[in-house]
Structures are given as C-alpha cells and as structure tokens.
Amino acid sequence: MGKKKSSYEGLQKSVRSLKTPEIEVWENQYSDREYVIHLEIPELTCICPKTGLPDFAVIRLDYSPRKWCVELKSLKMYVLFYRDVGIFHEHLTNKILDDFVKAAQPAWAKIEVVMNPRGGISTTVNAEFIKKG
C-alpha cells in the first residue's frame, strides 16, 4: 500500500509565486525619522501540507518604515488567506516577509512566526530583511 500524497504538497515547489491578497500601505508623514513599528498577530492558521491538519501560530513583525506604513485591515485579510493554504512553517514565514517587504518597502523588517506545538515539537522561524544601499 503506497503513501497517500497530500493535496497541499505540490504547492511547496511554487510557494514564491503563490498569489496572495494585496497588503495595502499609507504614506508615512514621519519618513525623516527612524522608528520601529511592532505588530503581533496571535491568530494565524494554515494547513500542514503533510497531514492536512490545521496549524496555529503567532506572528511578530517589527519594521522601520520609510515612505510607507502597512494598513492593518489589509494585513489582517492577508493573514486570513493562509487559513486554507497547506504550507511548511519555513515557507510561510519567508513568503509573509517577501510580500510585506514588497508592499511596505521598509528600511528593515524582522518576522518571527511561533507555531503551536505539533506532535510534541514547537517550531519558531525567524527571517529578516535589511535594505542594501
């Protein structure tokens, strides 16, 4: 009897091109000042691509805005998109950071995704972006 393949496994090869909702921004009136915005989203859910079971996580995102700040309702809708997406924790973290950086164009950004334990194992994935030049 062969191993049953999850319907989410194929996504992992094309995760960078996954079409996600737009993260909207608004113009920062203090772009001449360096400051940090800390966002915490305690209710991310996604699907394990191996088991098809739900995963739960907390997202912590810090960034230093330049011209743009992230509009929070659109970020909430972006995060809700992952509810039905089968994705590895590492891919999830990096995809969120990529999309966030593309939208906000910050001086730097750091993301930490803390997954609830699954199978007795806790996973935390950190990634960061630092603008070159």
Please check whether residue 3 lies inside any domain of the structure.
no
Residue 124, in any domain of the structure: yes
Active site (annotated) includes residue 55: yes
Model pLDDT, residue 1: 45
For residue 25, being part of any structural domain is answered with no
CA dihedral 102, 112, 79, 67 (to 10 degrees): -30
Residue 76 lies in a domain: yes
Q: Is 62 part of the annotated catalytic residue set?
A: no
Q: For residue 14, tell me if it sits in a domain.
A: no
CB atoms within 10 A of CB 56: 14
Is the pLDDT at 17 greater than 70? The verdict is: yes
Q: Domain residues for 90? A: 31-130
Q: Considering the candidates 46, 48, 69, 99, report the single residue annotated as catalytic.
A: 48
Name the more confident of 79 and 132: 79
Instruction: Express each pLDDT in 83-95 by its tens digit.
Output: 999 999 999 999 9
Catalytic residue among 55, 62, 69, 99: 55
Instruction: Give kind and range of the element (H or E) at residue 99.
Output: helix 89-104
Predicted TM-score (pTM) of the model is 0.90
What is the rounded average pLDDT for all residues in the chain?
Answer: 92
Q: How far is CA 6 from CA 36, 51, 60, in A?
A: 40, 7, 29
- Contact residues for 88 (Cβ-Cβ < 8 A; gap 6+): 12, 49
**Domain count for the chain:** 1
| Helix, strand, or coil (residue 9) | helix
Q: Which residues contact 61 (CB under 8 A, 6 or more apart)?
A: 38, 39, 40, 41, 96, 100, 109, 110, 111, 112
In a domain, 2, yes or no: no
Residue 45 pLDDT > 60, yes or no? Answer: yes
Are residues 130 and 116 in contact, defined by beta-carbon separation less than 8 angstroms?
no
The more confident residue out of 9 and 34 is: 34
- Asked whether residue 113 is domain-assigned, the answer is yes
- The enclosing domain of 66 has a CATH number of 3.30.1130.10
Whether 6 is covered by a domain: the verdict is: no
Residue 133's pLDDT is 67
Instruction: Tell me the percentage of the chain whose pLDDT exceeds 90.
Output: 79
